A = this chain, B = another copy of it.
Amino acid sequence: MDERQVGALRFQLDLSQPIYEQIVEQMSRAILRGDIGLGEKIPSVRELAQGLRVTPNTVMHAYQEMERQGLTETRRGQGTFITSSRQRVEAFRQQEAHRVVTEFLAKMRSLGFTEAEIIEQLRSRRQEEEMQ
């Protein structure tokens, strides 16, 4: 796990998981947090690849994934930009949350937990973490 800065963006890459997924996730988070503004240009594939010391191939893969999710747009000859539609970003956030919650509930139920127990698990976990 090491940390690298490229422009205003900070990345933590862990080589034991797919790098392109980590780029997508951390870039998306930066957008949702507002670290990159709507409509702003993000680093070019080559630039980011160099900054992260990964192959351009990997960055390209990540950018294609983000475009597929409607978070970015590429303009030929100009580069890649965050979508300028706040609505689209918010839609992405809600859609992802919905998917993640659905998946979580399904898994916990299949392990035999009731709704009350699921919420209890979350609460107790939160306390554990706070104590650290």
Smallest Cβ-Cβ distance to A18: which chain B residue: B76
The answer to whether B119 touches A101, judged by C-beta atoms less than 8 angstroms apart, is no
Partner of A104, one of B68, B75, B100: B100
Partner of A112, one of B26, B29, B78, B115: B29
Interface string of A90-132 (1 = CB under 8 A from B): 0001001100111111011011110100110111011000000
Number of interface residues of A (CB under 8 A): 38
Partner of A101, one of B25, B96, B125: B125
Min CB–CB distance A77 → chain B (angstroms): 9
Partner of A115, one of B16, B97, B110, B126: B126
A53 within 8 A of B: no
A96 vs B106: C-alpha distance when bound (angstroms): 13
Q: Measuring CB to CB, which residues of chain A are less than 8 angstroms from any residue of chain B?
A: 15-16, 18, 25-26, 28-29, 32-33, 68, 73-76, 78, 93, 96-97, 100-105, 107-108, 110-113, 115, 118-119, 121-123, 125-126
The list of the 5 closest CB pairs from A to B, nearest first, reads: A104-B104, A32-B112, A29-B110, A15-B75, A100-B107
